[in-house]
Amino acid sequence: MRQRSFDDLGTALSCVTFCVLDLETTGGSPTDCLITEVGAVKVRGGEVLGTFGTLVNPGCAIPPQITLITGITDRLVAPAPSIDRVLPSFLEFIGGSVIVGHNLRFDLAFLHHALRRWGGPMLGNQHLDTLALARRLLAGEMPNFRLGELARRLRLPHQPNHRALDDAWATTDLLHYLIERATAWGVTGLDDLVNLPSIAGHPQAKKLGLTKGLPRKPGIYQFRSGEGTVLYVGKATDLRSRVRSYFSSDQRKKVAQLLRETHDITWEVCDSVLAAELLELRLIQEHQPRYNHRGRHPATPQFVRLSTDERLPRLTIGRAPGPLSIGPLTTRRQAELVVEAIQTALPIRRCATRVGPRAVLPVVPTPCTSGQLGTGACPCSGATTEAEYLRIASATAQAMTSDPQLVLEPLAERMRVLAASERFEEAAAVRDRAGAFAAAVAQQRRLQMVRDAGRFQVETTTGHRITIDGGRPQSGGVTRITGSTEAGASDQARSLDEALCVVRWLDRNAQAIRVIDVEGRLCSPLPALPDFQPRPA
Q: How many Å separate Cα 283 from the centre of its chain? A: 22
Kindly list the distances between the CA atom of residue 340 and the CA atoms of 55, 251, 315, 377, 399, in Å, as whole numbers in the listed order: 70, 38, 10, 15, 14
176 is catalytic: no
First to last CA, the chain: 30
How far, in Å, CA of 294 to CA of 37, rounded?
55
CB-side exposure of 194: number of CA atoms within 13 Å? 21
Half-sphere exposure of 143 (CA within 13 A, CB side): 5
Report the b/e string of 290-328 with b at 16+ CB within 10 A.
ebbeebeebbbbbbbbbbeebbbbbbbbeeeebebbbbb
Burial 408-445 (b: 16+ CB within 10 A, else e): bebbbebbeebeeeeeeeebebbbebbbbbbbbbbbbb
Q: Alpha-carbon distance 368 to 435, whole Å?
A: 28
Q: How many whole angstroms separate alpha carbon 338 and alpha carbon 438?
A: 9
C-alpha to C-alpha distance for 170 and 152, rounded to whole angstroms = 10
Alpha carbon distance 452, 456 (integer Å): 10
Please say whether the beta carbons of 195 and 201 come within 8 A: no
User: Do residues 300 and 491 make contact, with C-beta atoms less than 8 angstroms apart?
Assistant: no
CA dihedral (122, 128, 130, 134) positive or negative: positive
Strand order in the sheet with 302-306: 315-318, 302-306, 325-329
What's the rounded Cα separation, in Å, for the pair 298 and 498? 10
The bridge status of strand 325-329 relative to strand 219-224 is unpaired
Q: How far apart (Å, rounded) are the C-alpha atoms in residues 386 and 379?
A: 6
> Which residue among 162, 176, 263, 287 is the active-site one?
162
Distances (CA, A) of 171 to 19, 66, 102, 146: 10, 21, 7, 11
Reduce the DSSP state of residue 443 to 3 states and report it: helix
| Secondary structure (3-state) at 189 | strand
Residues 367, 368, 371, 377, CA torsion sign: negative
Q: Which residues are catalytic?
A: 162
